[in-house]
A and B are shown apart, each in its own frame.
Chain A
């Protein structure tokens, strides 16, 4: 399982990187953490003629809080974000989801931008981005553009990024202070791909839910944002019936594929179960924060 040959490029700046991408087009792949791409290369499923290693573009590794949202450089290592105080404080949902991404050795190299751009249908970070209405910034031949999460994920491993574009930043709007949150997933082993995973954020005031955000992974080609379930929760007083209603709405909103590890029916069912449990935990946390 040795990779096929490739031309190796190692740009030091974003401009150098985008220039290389513009030149080599779609027979080039960006190498960030490599935790998803290199296994595919070792198995010779992926044989890019050109590999553009962006690990030396220092300027792409940062975590900034602009008051409204966390702006995370695409090259920020997952492990660094997992431990960053701003993430724990402003977006604990991201921290909790990151802890279930593979294992420490994977997260030491895997990057925030890489996971989003790779768009694995069972990835954790894509669902967090969708749940929080995040967006990404990309630089390409036609300059810089911002893509909202809802427009980013197209299908299995496929985003709306142009092959010549470099994802430079991930932006996660921070939930309101005191909001409850919860990330839950089911995987066959600790650190495996999620059979189903859900991220929930509940803003609460006066014992009522003022805003509900839900993002699911592992239940379709792309992360799912169950709008009907969110609508059903907004303005309501939390109760087990309410959580059940939301779980049913989530089951209606997902259309997973089965595979050798879990049937489609099972994934649909547990998507509901996880949503119920995540809502319960998020509501607990919102009450504690109040």
Chain B
């Protein structure tokens, strides 16, 4: 009954081959056979979104798929977002806006944000909140994640020159009364050594578009 199969998956541009039973979920194969532990398991019944990855540019719950189903597809996980030490603009925005605390749900939110901003480059706050409703977080209360997604939308739009005059609805952080865009000035930059692209459009590495 328990016959092992050779399974080869392409994750973040690299091919991984492993022996697994057909019942091994895509999430477990990525974590154990590919050694990419950035994708996390929070519920294993498709609600919390911590296991969200990109498959051919689309977000999927990797706990609701079997590894054997993903052969031939191009997967992107959180480990594939940064370019060496240079963070993806979305990762940078999450860092700038304290959009993570324990970090367990963060990979799922990042992959969801990549697809969402691909589909919807100039989102309103309501659109952002609804897009993020498929990922649960218990630490942040979501506010800083919403602010970070809006900021990333700006950075990406500026980078791709797509920022129309109207611009996206800039979510105003009422507490500080300051446009909660990329708040370079607000947060004290205490990181001399952190390589950070400023001004120059960063090479946006995200999953291949559909």
Enumerate chain B residues within 8 angstroms of A103, measured Cβ to Cβ.
Answer: 49, 133-134
A34 to B22, Cβ gap below 8 A? Answer: no
Contact call A38/B64, Cβ cutoff below 8 A: yes
A134 CB → nearest B CB, Å: 26
Q: In this assembly, does A3 line the interface, its C-beta being within 8 Å of a C-beta of chain B?
A: yes
Q: Which one of A4-12, A86-94, A120-128, A261-269 is at the interface? A: A4-12
A8-B68, A191-B133 given; name 11 further pairs at CB < 8 Å.
A1-B45, A3-B25, A4-B23, A5-B2, A38-B66, A39-B44, A39-B45, A42-B25, A51-B22, A105-B59, A109-B65
Question: B132-143, CB under 8 A of A: which get 1 and which 0?
Answer: 011000000000
Report Cα–Cα, A69/B69, bound state, in Å. 32
The 6 A-B residue pairs whose C-beta atoms are closest, nearest first, are: A103-B134, A8-B22, A39-B45, A1-B44, A190-B133, A38-B64
Could you tell me which residues of chain A, from 15 to 52, have a CB within 8 Å of some CB in chain B? Answer: 34-35, 38-39, 42-43, 51
| Sample of 25 A–B contacts (CB below 8 Å) | A1-B44, A2-B23, A2-B44, A5-B23, A6-B22, A7-B1, A8-B5, A8-B66, A34-B65, A39-B64, A42-B25, A42-B44, A43-B45, A53-B66, A55-B69, A102-B134, A103-B133, A104-B59, A104-B131, A105-B52, A106-B46, A109-B60, A189-B133, A191-B133, A191-B134
The distance in angstroms between the C-alpha atoms of A252 and B167, with both chains bound, is 50
Contact status of A106 and B2, CB under 8 A, knowing A3-B23, A5-B23, A35-B46: no
* Interface members, chain B 1-26 (any A CB < 8 Å): 1-2, 5, 21-23, 25
CB pair A108 B45 closer than 8 Å: no
Q: Which of A66-102 contact B (CB under 8 A)?
A: 79, 102
Residues of B within 8 A of A51 (CB): 22
User: Cβ of B112 < 8 Å from any Cβ of A?
Assistant: yes
Measured in the bound complex, the distance between the Cα atoms of B44 and A43 in whole Å is 8
Instruction: Tell me which residues from 55 to 76 in chain B have a Cβ below 8 Å from any Cβ of chain A.
Output: 58-61, 63-66, 68-69
B110 to chain A, nearest CB (A): 13
Asked, given contacts A6-B22, A34-B64, A189-B133, whether A105 binds B2 with beta carbons under 8 Å apart, the answer is no
Give A contacts to B, CB under 8 Å.
1-8, 10, 34-35, 38-39, 42-43, 51, 53, 55, 79, 102-106, 108-109, 189-191
| Contact between chains at B1 and A5 (CB < 8 Å) | yes
Cβ B23 vs Cβ A105 within 8 A: no
Q: Is the CB of B112 within 8 A of A105?
A: yes
Most buried by B among A34, A51, A108: A108
- A168 to B68: give the CA distance in the assembly, Å: 23
Chain A residue numbers with a CB within 8 Å of B96 are: none
Chain A positions within 8 Å of B112 at CB level: 104-105
Instruction: Give a binary string over B26-68; 1 marks a CB under 8 Å from any A CB, 0 the rest.
Output: 0010000000000000001110010010000011110111101
**Contact in complex: A190, B2 (CB < 8 Å):** no
Least Cβ–Cβ distance between A43 and chain B, in angstroms: 6
**Which of B1, B5, B61, B65 has the most chain A CB within a 10 Å cutoff?**
B61
- Counting chain A CB atoms within 10 Å of each CB, the highest count among B46, B59, B60, B130 belongs to B46
A105 and B22 contacting across the interface, CB-CB below 8 Å: no
| Contact residues in B for A5 (Cβ distance below 8 Å) | 1-2, 21, 23
CB distance from B192 to the nearest CB of A (A): 38
A103 to B60, CA, bound (A): 10
B111 to chain A: closest residue by CB: A105
A106 to B46, CA, bound (A): 8
Bound Cα distance from A171 to B206, whole angstroms = 37
A205–B69 CA distance with the chains assembled, in angstroms = 50
Contacting residues, chain B, for A6 (C-beta < 8 A)? 22-23
Nearest-Cβ distance from residue A22 to partner chain B, whole angstroms = 21
B61–A104 touching, CB < 8 Å? no
Q: Are B130 and A190 in touch, CB under 8 angstroms? A: yes
* A53: B residues at CB distance < 8 A: 66, 68-69
B141 to chain A, nearest CB (A): 15
Say how far B148's CB is from chain A's closest CB, in angstroms.
Answer: 18
